[in-house]
Amino acid sequence: MKSKTPKRKSAAPRAGLLAGGNWIIDQVKIIDVYPQRGHLANIQGQSQGTGGSPYNVLVDLQQLGAPFPLAAAGMVGDDPLGREILADCQARAIATDFLAVNPKAPTSYTDVMTERQGGHRSFFHARGANALWRGEDLDFDQTRARIFHLGYLLLLDALDAADAKYGTRAARLLAAAQAAGLKTSIDVVSEDSDRFTRIVTPALKHVDYCILNEIEAGKTTGFTLRDAAGKLDTVAVRHAAGALLQCGVRELVVIHFPEGGFARTRLGGDTWQSSLKLPAAYIAGTAGAGDAFCAGVLLGLHEGWELSRCLLTGVCVAAASLADPTCTAGVKSLPAALALAKKYGFRPALADD
């Protein structure tokens, strides 16, 4: 009698988010006014919090109650701040297998100066170990995550460096993630430079979900998304999203701004969502709002929600983050974030679909 060949077990479906890039401790100072050079400002309060795209997004997702595994990738120093990050991840059940410790570089930190009136902030940043991370220790065959989120491009020196084949090392890393079966997502830091085309554009060919704010989208594509009076140009937003798709983004471009968010798919579908109509007294600080929006959208994309629900979740989580001067302490559960929409309502509609 012939022996039966055992059936191969099918691979378990992918689940979870692996986030890599900048790991930062924010030192947040509340100041009465941003001073002119050589003048004095009074520090009226101080707190410490998370910083950097992967750290903020993962913590936000954990606090929202994301029903899937969370994992970290990047580099910290062998110092008190680095150990604090590792301990925080452990306490939140965020896997740190790919979060390396470098004994020769300090953990990155940022002094965030937040003006009490309006929550506007300025950043003084020490790049530290983040500048050395190349992602070479990141083995995508050893993860079952569904999405790999990388941020911030333009603030990861080694990954922003040129690559002969892919344009940048970040593009090479994203291509490796896609080749292993993961969906890829990126975020970019807002800076006043001409580096966007050289560093961001090569990565777009290897990105499934591109999530940027209006400044970053404009800098990357060359479109001006606000008029001379500062009003959002919704036609230019559409054009910028289309240009990002033409650069190679595979599935979806999401552009967010204080007024709300906009999404365009590869198939050409557009979705708009206004932000919440929050009173000025509610806003304790705007640091981390973009990452909170990103976390809400990625939560929905992972769970297969309609784009309208993804954007609604994004603006609600962003609104939650504004209640605290740190990047993530304002974010609570998903029901608590969504309840803010019922409490405060929305700004006027941005555009007709």
Asked whether the predicted pLDDT for residue 143 surpasses 50, the reply is yes
- The answer to whether the beta carbons of residues 209 and 298 sit under 8 Å apart is yes
Beta bridge partners of 21: 74, 151
pLDDT of residue 119: 78
Asked whether the predicted pLDDT for residue 337 surpasses 80, the reply is yes
* Residues 247-258, mean pLDDT to the nearest whole number: 98
Q: Three-state secondary structure along the chain?
A: CCCCCCCCCCCCCCCCEEEEECCEEEEEEEECCCCCCCCCCCEEEEEEEEECHHHHHHHHHHHHCCCCCEEEEEEEECCHHHHHHHHHHHHCCEEEEEEEEECCCCCEEEEEEEECCCCCEEEEEECHHHHHCCCCCCCHHHCCCCEEEEEEECCCHHHHCEECCCEEHHHHHHHHHHHCCCEEEEEECCCCCCCHHHHHHHHHCCCCEEEEEHHHHHHHHCCCCECCCCCECHHHHHHHHHHHHHCCCCCEEEEEECCEEEEEECCCCEEEEECECCCHHHCCCCCCHHHHHHHHHHHHHHHCCCHHHHHHHHHHHHHHHCCCCCCCCCCCCHHHHHHHHHHHCECCCCCCC
Q: What is the mean pLDDT of the chain?
A: 94
- What is the amino acid identity at position 249? V
- What is the amino acid identity at position 5? T
Burial 162-197 (b: 16+ CB within 10 A, else e): eeeebbbbbbbbbbbbbeeebbbbbbbbbeeeeebe
Beta bridge partners of 254: 211, 263
pLDDT of residue 11: 64
Asked whether the predicted pLDDT for residue 173 surpasses 70, the reply is yes
Query: Is the CATH number 3.40.50.300 carried by domain 50-71+145-344?
Result: no
* Residues 128-142, mean pLDDT to the nearest whole number: 96
Residue for token pair 């790999």: 148
- Cα(4)–Cα(26) distance, rounded to whole angstroms? 60
Among the listed residues 249, 143, 258, 243, the one whose alpha carbon sits nearest the alpha carbon of residue 202:
249
- The two tokens of residue 251 are 């599935």
Nearest 10 degrees: Cα torsion 316, 200, 54, 308: 20
Asked whether the predicted pLDDT for residue 2 surpasses 90, the reply is no
- The answer to whether the beta carbons of residues 342 and 336 sit under 8 Å apart is no
Contacts of 91 (CB under 8 A, 6+ apart): none
- Cα(127)–Cα(132) distance, rounded to whole angstroms? 9
Higher pLDDT, 8 or 255: 255
Asked whether the predicted pLDDT for residue 8 surpasses 50, the reply is no
pLDDT in tens, 199-237: 999 999 999 999 999 999 999 999 999 999 999 999 999
Asked whether the predicted pLDDT for residue 9 surpasses 70, the reply is no
pLDDT in tens, 174-199: 999 999 999 999 999 998 899 999 99
Contacts of 223 (CB under 8 A, 6+ apart): 217, 236, 239, 240, 243
Against a cut of 0.85, is the pTM above it?
A: yes
pLDDT of residue 118: 78
pLDDT in tens, 80-122: 999 999 999 999 999 999 999 999 999 999 998 989 887 788 8
Beta bridge partners of 232: 226
pLDDT of residue 116: 87
Higher pLDDT, 268 or 135: 135
- What is the amino acid identity at position 133? W
